Each structure stands twice: as structure tokens, then as C-alpha cells.
Homo-oligomer: A and B are copies of this chain.
Amino acid sequence: MPSDIEIAQAANPEPIAGVAARLGIPEEDLVPYGRDKAKVDIGVLREGGGHRAKLVLVTAINPTPAGEGKTTTTIGLADAMRRLGTNAVVALREPSLGPVFGIKGGAAGGGYAQVVPMEDINLHFTGDFHAIGAANNLLAAMVDNHIKQGNELGIDPRRITWRRCVDMNDRQLRNVVDGLGGVADGMPRQDGFDITVASEVMAVLCLSSSITDLKERLARIVVGYTFDREPVRAGDLHAQGAMCALLKDALMPNLVQTLEGTPAFVHGGPFANIAHGCNSVMATRMAMHYGDVAITEAGFGADLGAEKFCDITCRMGGFAPDAVVVVATVRALKYNGGQPKADLATEDLGALAQGMPNLLRHVSNMRDVYGLPCVVAVNRFPTDTEAELALVEEACRKEGVDVRLSEVWAKGGEGGLELAREVLRLVGEPNDFDYAYPSGTPVRRAVEAVARRVYRADGVDFTPQALRQLAELERNGFGNLPVCIAKTQYSFTDDQARLGAPEGFRITVREVKVDAGAGFAVVLTGAIMTMPGLPRHPAAESIDVDETGRITGLF
């Protein structure tokens, strides 16, 4: 089979203006970026649009090195629905530049279930992440400039929480001392850089519902604390207007299409641990305005991604899913059941059976905690044996869970027809959607609720430091925000080595901080890397471009 980029480059997509016209987007609302990408004016959402379609969430088991194919399944499912005559529209996250040059490669689906133009989407796309980085770094420059120019607000340089960012895997910038040089050059202090997707500006953009909302959220961002330990906000520095000017185009969702011509809004991409891991509220609402079925995905496994989609994104976005697809692969289930990575191509029914509880717990969460109809999509790999596939189906059936094979990677929409039919049936069913905890729940109780109900922990322990931070959070009026729990994506627990469906464990909260612009409390259960590094042989070394502009070596 050809590589992803070869498949994508062989495609001859319809001009994006045609895709938009098919969808009913008025010509004056379309802002073209080349022939195959466009932004769409948010006017229709300002007027209350965006709640028409059925909404499908695609989530997955805990990620493993074996790969699950959540994005691929999302795209293929929409293509399959389109083959069945349904006006399906996809909403996805934008990839970050960093991983493209590192180890992960692109993030625009795979095989015959991709969004195109995959090279552009994986590189600068329409410049959204650059705009987010610029807004983040303008605020940082204004913070340090304020101190340099007399520090009227009394910002404590040791308590600045706002970090700079760059959309690159660059571990050299994780921890720096800046402001060196002398009196003319600033104030020496400890500082550091995150990758752009970890910036609160990314989360803010993705949760905003209008330019005005965006500006208000930006103004609320806490950049640090005064010598009197009072929060200092971006609004105190009068930074929100200029930041918003940098972000006004980035706020508009990007329209592209799948290889089969299904419309896709690809927009925003916050981290799924320290942030909420979903594409923008704007993109989901745009898909819900123009489609009959909108299909979106959330980062990492359902314990992190789906939980945040339901408890943060839906709560703030004012929408709710009608059905959930939980993606699994035989390989990943076997890995969860203890089979070593090198052996995943070999049949191992024992390991598979051992791994099944991971899948079943996620499915149970979606049905029992969130009250949503649910189907399992098994993303088929060539090495899967019939016996293995039968085992997955049988184990699910015992729990009353339907399973559908997905072969969209190899066959495009044609490989997802059965899955599509089942999802179309599910979205027509009634559901009892509810959050894992009600709005306004105190942070500590909200964390307990997610840990006990979703992770199935026996309880939550807060370190003394976390308790102090929690008290300060409450004192500053942030004590009842929704919680964004940063936890390893590999396990239901806070220990990445505990695969499967562990029981009898507790979660330890080590740090609590506020993202007041995004509007959630970030609860950290361990050290979360917000600036990746490059591997020994970065993918960048193999990327090339010829005189006609054709890119090679991008995966």
C-alpha cells in the first residue's frame, strides 16, 4: 500500500469553494487560503446557529505504542455516512508542527481516510498556531516590559506563571534564565517555554464562542501574582485587545475535505492533559450548523479525552453528544493485556482477553457515567486474526456492547459502512447525557467525582502543596471551575505502567493551578511534559521539497 503522503498527493480534490457550496456556506462567508483550504466566517454562529445536527464523539481506549487510529476512524466514518446519503461533517484538531519534525509525523488521518491537503494541514495550514504563539508571546513581552518600565502593578518576578511558547519540539527551552545582559536588557529571572499547543491561549481560542468572548477570556488570563500574592491578569496589562487582533482570523474554523470529499472543519488543537484536548467549539458548532451529523474526536483515551469533551467542551460550548464511538485495535488491546510491543503481530488470545477490560471500562463510562449510546469500532490491522476479532466481539457482546469492524484505513468510506449504519441508528436513540459532576462543584469534589466514576479509583490524595494551591485558588474565586485533570494517557491510574483496567488504586494530586481565561482549574497528578524534545533522528532529517514544491518524507 502507498504511504499516506503518496495517497494524499495522488488525490485530485474538488476546489474548496465547491465543497463549501455543496454544504450551503454562503460565498461571502468563505475566506479562501489557496484553492483547497478556507476559513469560514463565524457570523452564522453569532446569530445562534450550530445546534442543528446530531453530534457523534469518537474516542478510544488508552493509547499504546501500537496505535489506535482515532482520527482515521473519525474521517472514515464520515466518508461512510456520506456514501449512505447522510450529510456528515467532520470536526478535528489541527496538528502541531513540533511532532511533525519529531517522531510522531502528521496527524491528518491515514491510508484512505485522510483530510487533505495533508502537507499543508501538517505544516502551517492557515497560520492559526502561529497566531496563537504570537498572542502568547506578546503577552509575555508585555509582562516583562511592565516590570522593566517600573512595575506599577507590583508583579513578583518569581511568581510569573506565564511562559513563552514556540511550535517546535525544543527541549533546550524548557528551563531558561532570561533577562540577562544588563540594566538595558530586562530583569534576570527563571522562565521557560512550552510548545504552542500547551499555551492557555490555545485553550482559550478553542473554548471561545465569539470575538467578544475571546477578548473577555484573554483579559481574564492570570499571568502571575503580585508581591502581595494577588493575581495579575492580561487585562491589567491592557493586552487583550492586541492579542485578540492577532487571533481574530484564527478564531474562524478552517474548512478542508477528506479524500472522498466529505467536508471537514479542522481547527484548534490543545493538549489533552493540561488542557481539554478537543477541536474548537467554533468548529464543532460549524459542523453542527452545516451538517446533519457532526463527527468529532477527543484527544488520548476516553478517560482523558471524552471526559474533558463532556465535562468541559460540551458544558462551555452548549452542546451534547448523541452517540459515542470507542475505537480499539486488537494490537493495542493485546499490549494492554501484557503482550510485548515486538510480538504484537502474533496471535495471542490470552493477552487479548487480558486487555479487553480496558475497552469495556471506557464503554461502560460512556454509557453509565455520561448516559450515551455507544458502539465499539475495531480498527482492523492486516495482522489481526479471525480468532482475535471473534474474541473481541464475543467479550463485548457479553456486556451488551455492539462491535463493528472498521476497514477505512485500507478501503476509505467503503470500509466503514457497517459502523456508519450502527452510528446512524444510535444517534436516533434517546439518551440520558449528563456531566460527571454538576456545574459549580468545588474543585476538590469534582476531581473526586471524575477519579471515582471515570478512573474507578478508590479516592484522591492531595499533596500538602496541592492543598495550599487549592486554598489560594478558592481565595481568588476560582474554587468552583470545571476541572481539567492532567494525568498520564496510558493508564486509568496516575502510573503509566499500570495498563488494562486496574482496581484498588488512589490518585495523587500534586499541583493545582488556574487557567482563568480557559475557565478551568488544571489539576496535575504528576509531571506533565509541556515541551517535547526531538528524537535521535528527527523526522525533519528526511523531509524534502522539490523545485515544484512537492514535499516528500512527511508521514
Contacts and interface: CB of A to CB of B under 8 A. Distances in A.
A241 B544 CA distance: 4
A548 to B, nearest CB: 8
A138 interface: yes
Given A130-B134, A176-B178, A248-B549, A242 B101 contact: yes
Contacts of A540: 138, 142, 238-239, 241-242
A20 B136 CA distance: 36
Nearest to A180: B175
A176 B180 contact: yes
Contact of A211 (B144, B212, B549): B549
A387 interface: no
B543 A242 contact: yes
A138 B102 CA distance: 10
A536 interface: yes
Contacts of A124: 127, 130-131, 134, 246, 249
A172 B141 contact: yes
A181 B174 contact: yes
Q: Determine which residue in A133, A134, A215, A540 has the highest number of CB atoms from chain B within 10 A of its CB, and name it.
A: A540
A149 B536 contact: yes
- Determine the interface band of chain A, counting residues with CB < 8 A from chain B: 35 or more
B167 A178 contact: no
Given A35-B31, A211-B546, A178 B173 contact: yes
Interface in A153-175: 164, 166-175
A302 B142 CA distance: 34
Given A172-B186, A541-B238, A551-B245, A137 B123 contact: no
Contact of A46 (B33, B167, B168, B547): B547
A203 interface: no
Given A124-B130, A540-B138, A178 B172 contact: yes
A1 interface: no
B242 A138 contact: no
B123 A245 contact: yes
A551 B533 CA distance: 37
Contacts of A211: 545-549
Contacts of A542: 238, 241
A2 interface: no
A145 interface: yes
A185 interface: yes
Nearest to A549: B248
A17 to B, nearest CB: 10
A378 interface: no
A32 interface: yes
A21 interface: no
A193 B479 CA distance: 38
Nearest to A534: B145
A210 interface: yes
A538 interface: yes
A34 interface: yes
A197 interface: no
Contact of A130 (B35, B130, B144, B181): B130
Contacts of A187: 172
A28 to B, nearest CB: 9
Contacts of A543: 241-242, 245
Given A101-B138, A238-B540, 13 more contacts: A31-B34, A101-B242, A119-B245, A124-B131, A127-B130, A172-B178, A172-B191, A173-B178, A176-B177, A210-B547, A212-B547, A241-B540, A248-B549
Closest 10 CB pairs of A and B: A130-B130, A241-B544, A242-B540, A175-B181, A144-B172, A175-B180, A141-B170, A242-B543, A145-B534, A238-B541
Interface of A: 31-35, 46, 97, 101, 119, 123-124, 127, 130-131, 133-134, 137-138, 140-142, 144-145, 148-150, 164, 166-181, 184-187, 191, 210-212, 215, 237-239, 241-242, 244-246, 248-249, 533-534, 536, 538-549, 551, 553-554
26 contacts: A32-B34, A33-B33, A97-B134, A119-B245, A124-B246, A127-B130, A134-B167, A137-B166, A138-B168, A142-B538, A145-B534, A148-B171, A148-B533, A171-B185, A171-B186, A172-B179, A172-B187, A175-B185, A176-B191, A211-B548, A211-B549, A237-B541, A241-B543, A244-B545, A248-B549, A249-B549
